[in-house]
Structure 1
Amino acid sequence: MTYTHDFRGKVLSGTNSLLGEGPTYDPDTDTVWWFNILGKELHELNLSTGRKQVHDLPMMASVLARVDAGRQLIATEEGLFLRDVGTGALTLHALLEPGQTGNRSNDGRTHVSGALWIGTMGKRAETGAGAIYHVAAGKVTKLFDKVSIPNSICFSPDGTIGYYVDSKAGLLMRVPVDPASGLPSGEATVLVDSSDESGDIDGSVCDVNGHIWNARWGSGFVDHYAPDGQRIERYRVPVAQPTCPVFIGRNADRLAFTSAREGLDEATLTSQPSSGALLELAIAVQGSFDPPYRM
């Protein structure tokens, strides 16, 4: 049985991104980071002080992973770059798809091994134009090809299971993973088939119990799945296009999510003024933090 809950949360940052995506949280600084992909912006919100900053980027970017106190790894349309936290300076780390200027990065997440899974897609969401890659210490390995909109990349707490989806297909996939390397150790199988439902499976995170929390684009819900793929809870949210959840707070016991304004008409934007904001669901969760990317 699926239990549906009304929204009792709040807006954490009202900056209305055209395509808010890729949120992550740094417990050392109590800071949430996320992107406005189409606006070429990196957003930073310190939860302790409430200080908000927006950093302009020279390219579209979608995923950030902590490396250490002074460096971050960001995935962009031009490859993976190391970012100096203090200055914002970018240094090329690895190319994902050399010469494919029609693609950009999309969803991704670090594995307990320190490797990064990162997806690419066509800038116009062309069918089958993207792929999902494994990146370890700068070495890039293609895992899955002919992906249209890669999303929901996340991992079980012990690193033995990986999840991903092509949002156009609506099939949330489950694949065994080597916890030491972050590479698949078996074939992917379908965990959730939502191809006949409204909305699309977008970004996901996995909690300490192996449950999956998913933002369902176009439906106005954040969904909660058990490890066997059963959807056990739905949370209504005040935006039609939630994009990706993130565990926040020093104990990872809070859940926030990004959202988007892209493609919404004026009537929808008027009725949903928080579209594009960073919101909090205001429920108790048992989350975990994304591991650092290992150089």
Structure 2
Amino acid sequence: MTATNATVFSDIVCELGEGPGYDPLTNTVWWFDIMAGKLIEKNWPDGETRVQELGMMASALAVIDAQSQLLWTENGLFIRDRASGRLTLHKAIEADNPATRSNDARVHPSGAFWLGTMGRRAEEGAGSIWWYREGQVRQIFSGITITNSICFSPDGRVAYFSDTDQNILWRVDTDPETGLPTGERSVFHHRVEDGGMDGSVVDANGILWNACWGGKSVNAYSPDGRLIRSVPVPARQPSCPAFVGPDADRLLVTTAWQGMSQSDRDADPNAGRALLLDIAVQGILDAPVRL
């Protein structure tokens, strides 16, 4: 890997930074500290930073409109009023299962929200992927240990997701009108190198960008599953990338210090910070969710 410049987007240090995204309606970047139950928002590119204590673990959100968001939490889906921060329960999903929590999630181009769960201690096979749209909820995959990499081709005809525990990234054909799977999943890429396949996004050219937990990199895969580029990250545990900015032409990546000793953290000063990578990307932004 050749050297890549990166800048610290925020000095806030997260134990488990995750779920970043960009809201074009409000010119805001968001991300979470899952373990601390915090939602962090910052006006792009260098505006005010706001932190909300959610009172529960949360890991992803979808844009509804300029006034509200849909948060994916350990207790299900909550509508959040942006101005007040007020949370209102919308759908309880796996809220009756104390062994699991929310993890990765992303909005399909159809407006459907794919939602991943996992065991609180990464218990084997405890996680599932759920489909939500217009008040309907369906479980579409189960038996996953650490759900990650939920993302979609630009035309909405292919979905991707991973089990970080197995280091396998799958693909499955989807209905572009509903976001529901139309076939069986198949292996897109099985990583045998060091590092785990964590969060992913797909750009306008169909290239999948994956954060490599423990591998200090964001890796780019062609639509046929070939590794075509590896971008170094100045932090050991990148967790999820996101296209940010009005033109979706910057790549932000969240990181984490979870599981690291104090000496490891001392040697990894960016652990837990949100970083902007100095590379050119042609990103696309997630569609609003259809309530």
TM-score (norm 2): 0.98
Residue equivalent to 1:219: 215
Q: How does 1:57-72 map to 2 (within 5 A)?
A: 57-72=54-69
Q: Match of 2:257, as an amino acid?
A: R
* CA displacement at 1:96 relative to structure 2: 1.2
* CA displacement at 1:135 relative to structure 2: 0.6
Residue equivalent to 2:237: 241
Structure 1 gaps of 5+ residues are: none
3-state SS of the aligned residue for 2:64? strand
Does 1:207 pair with 2:203? Answer: yes
Q: Match of 2:288, as an amino acid?
A: P
Does 1:75 pair with 2:64? Answer: no
3-state SS of the aligned residue for 2:9? strand
What whole-Å deviation, never above 9, does each CA across 1:28-65 have from its counterpart, x for those lacking one?
A: 22210010000110000112452111111010000111
Contact 1:175 1:188 in 2 (8 A): yes
Distance 1:64 1:167 in 2: 21
Distance 2:226 2:24 in 1: 30
Residue equivalent to 1:56: 53
3-state SS of the aligned residue for 2:84? coil
Distance 2:178 2:8 in 1: 38
3-state SS of the aligned residue for 1:284? coil
Residue equivalent to 2:112: 115
Does 1:88 pair with 2:85? Answer: yes
Contact 1:94 1:139 in 2 (8 A): no
Pick aligned residue for 2:171 from 170, 174, 189 = 174
Contact 1:247 1:288 in 2 (8 A): yes
Q: Match of 1:282, as an amino acid?
A: D
Contact 1:106 1:121 in 2 (8 A): yes
Residue equivalent to 1:132: 129
What whole-Å deviation, never above 9, does each CA across 1:118-158 have from its counterpart, x for those lacking one?
A: 10001111001110010111211001101110000000000
Contact 2:151 2:161 in 1 (8 A): yes
Does 1:157 pair with 2:164? Answer: no
Residue equivalent to 2:139: 142
Q: Match of 2:247, as an amino acid?
A: N
Q: Match of 1:65, as an amino acid?
A: A
Residue equivalent to 1:47: 44
Structure 2 gaps of 5+ residues are: none
What whole-Å deviation, never above 9, does each CA across 1:185-216 have from its counterpart, x for those lacking one?
A: 1111001011x321100000000000000100
Shift in alpha-carbon separation, 1:49–1:217, aligned structure 2, 3 A: closer
Moved more, 259-268 or 211-220: 259-268
Pick aligned residue for 1:17 from 14, 17, 32 = 14
Number of aligned positions between the proteins: 291
Contact 1:20 1:276 in 2 (8 A): yes
Distance 1:233 1:251 in 2: 22
Shift in alpha-carbon separation, 1:233–1:49, aligned structure 2, 3 A: closer
3-state SS of the aligned residue for 1:134? strand
Distance 2:36 2:95 in 1: 23
Residue equivalent to 2:29: 32
